[in-house]
Structure 1
Amino acid sequence: AVNCAAPLLDMVRYERFGLGRAWVHEYGSAAVERELEWLLSYSPYHHVRPGVRYPAVLLSAFDNDTRVDPLHARKMCAALQHAAVDGAEIVLRREDLGHGARSRSEAAGYAADVLTFLGAATGLRPRELPTR
């Protein structure tokens, strides 16, 4: 099972959104043919293939994220849902937050959602708590 939060996944178009232009020196630019080849070689979005048995995936997008545009998680979720076989659970979780800034109660809720998803996807069975 996979938990993927605030991801940068479309490496070919990342520089067109949000702070992407600031990362060109680090990742390269699709406008430069040689760099486009690099980007395509490792861009997760561009490696999604139809008919593949993907694991359960929880993608989290934060609508007010100024660093990593939430479109990356949305696009990857749609691509995986379209490509996956055997009814793999591919889920998008979204919040009206920025990149990591949240209250303790929101952080606890997020952690509970992630752990619940991963536990269910990996077959974890809840145990009854002992009573006193």
Structure 2
Amino acid sequence: MTVNTDLKCYCGSENMFSDCCEPYIIGAKKAPTAEALMRSRYSAYAIHAADYLWATTAPKERKNYSKSAIMDWAKSNQWLKLEILNTTLTVVEFKAYYLDNRLKAQIHHEKSTFHNEDGNWYYVDGEY
């Protein structure tokens, strides 16, 4: 996978990818907030970083996911835009805009719950 780090971040922050989500995805930094983790997970879907998505899923929840399913979902869609609607310390409500494998426009609306354990944020689950 080749990623162009000289472009604006996929998460919509208006920052460069190399200064925004990439350091979290490559493990150079830890996401400091649930929202930062949510944004980096969206970017990870856009660049097909299934290992990061798996690693940032709460260990107790990983049995509900597989890396191959994560990768299939990431690759089968064209990720267009992330819109953060509301955020608290542990919940991020967002809309992810994408084109599915038939190039049909879709919106994934979710309230994601996150948990901080030993200074690491993890995705726990989502309410659709």
- TM-score by structure 1 length? 0.29
- Identify the structure with bigger relative contact order (alpha carbons < 8 Å, sequence gap 6+): 1
**Higher percent of residues as helix:** 1
- TM-score by structure 2 length? 0.30
